[in-house]
Amino acid sequence: MEPKEKIRCSVCITAYNEESNIGKILDAMINQHLHEVSITEIIVVASACTDNTVPIIKDVMAQEPRVKLIEQERRLGKTAAINEFLKVAQEDICVLESGDTLPHESAVEHMVRMFRDPNVGMTGAHKVPVNTPDHLASLFTYLRLQLEHELSLDIPRLGEMIAFRKVFDQIPPDVAMDEAFVEAFMVKRGMEVRYAPDAVVYNTGPTTIGDFVRQRRRNHAGHLYLKHKYGYKVSSLRKRKVAWIATKQVARAIWGVFQLIYVLGMLAVLEAWARFMGWYDFAIKKEKHVVWDMAWSQKADVASEKEKSRQLTEDANVIDPMASVTVASHKTQG
């Protein structure tokens, strides 16, 4: 059987003062694990950067011919940057990613291979925060993205890293929420929008309450404008659906607390019983346990068990978090 022709795609990275991350994201994009997909160009649109973002990009360009640079003298917003990319993108499938994120090594493959289905117009990655939820703002970000993930499994709500068919020349300049506009454009034309939960993109959420509110404020305003002008309501504006999923998340958290209490209670009971029996052996039976009564379940291949433990830890850290979940999709006639 002849091998399938690879799906070619153009990648756009939008960047504004991303010197701490731009080298890493380019390295991750250059070294994507690809089988059915081919990245033919990686175009960085740098918007009026005042740090070392551009020099870093140029250093990478000297080593990797697929990397290209578009410099904007003024910062005109993300939509303007995307429109610069659309003017020069050579492929029919475009991947769009923010410069302050980092794709998993298989993210592009998982997203772009979905376009073998000609009905698919847009796909989106699973956003995973790298913040440890050890203070309030990071905890809010973590919980919000968990809620968004659950929502996207039912009704896709895509952002941070998306792929789409190049069936339009530009995004209207008055639109702030570019991903939501692409989603609206595809849905209204009867094309499918699919969520790829196994295409992971890592990002850093706000670390202060002020930044959290600022981010959510501008996003909500952008979604309301899209609904007002273009008549499209993103999934996060569907209050009943969001409320239902949030309720399930709360119930799951409460159940987790009960499970923790149960486990800790059982541990306390077993430890108390073991200590009582140890006291009985020592004080009553005068047993010294010089020759141990063996706990035979401890006898195992330690190296093998160590490898199992390592694998479980990797899975818990969401390296490929939802590979077994059925991809969610929806289709609405325009």
Q: For 225, what's the count of Cα atoms within 13 Å in the CB-facing half-sphere? A: 15
CA dihedral 294, 297, 298, 303 (to 10 degrees): 150
Count of beta carbons in the 10 Å neighbourhood of residue 13? 28
Q: Considering its fold, how many domains does the chain have in total?
A: 2
Lowest mean pLDDT among 193-207, 214-228, 265-279: 214-228
How is residue 190 written in tokens? 């009867």
d(CA 179, CA 157): 9
Q: What's the predicted TM-score (pTM) here?
A: 0.66
Q: Is residue 313 pLDDT above 80, yes or no?
A: no
Segment 224-246 shows an average pLDDT of 60
Same domain, 129 and 233: yes
Same domain, 165 and 116: yes
How is residue 180 written in tokens? 């939501």
Same domain, 192 and 60: yes
| DSSP classification of residue 46 | E
Lowest mean pLDDT among 1-15, 185-199, 226-240, 263-277: 226-240
Q: What percentage of the chain carries pLDDT values higher than 90? A: 37
CA dihedral 256, 257, 260, 266 (to 10 degrees): -120
Name, in order, each residue with C-beta under 8 angstroms of 55's C-beta and a sequence gap of 6 or more.
Answer: none
- Per-residue pLDDT band for 157 (boundaries 50, 70, 90) equals low
Q: Which residue has the tokens 């991947």?
A: 95
Same domain, 87 and 130: yes
Same domain, 211 and 282: no
Write out the H or E segment, with its range, that includes residue 12. Answer: strand 7-15
Q: How confident is the model at residue 232, as a pLDDT?
A: 59
**Burial grade of 8 (CB within 10 A; 0-12, 13-18, 19 or more):** middle
Contact of 97 with 90, CB cutoff 8 Å: no
- What are the φ and ψ backbone dihedral angles of 215, each rounded to 5 degrees? -65, -50
Kind of pairing between the strands at 120-129 and 192-203? parallel
Q: Which residue has the tokens 């809620």?
A: 147
Same domain, 31 and 105: yes
Same domain, 122 and 196: yes
Same domain, 197 and 66: yes
Q: Residue 230 belongs to what domain range?
A: 7-237
Segment 207-214 shows an average pLDDT of 68
Same domain, 60 and 139: yes
Encode 242-251: b = buried (16+ Cβ within 10 Å), e = exposed: beebeeeeee
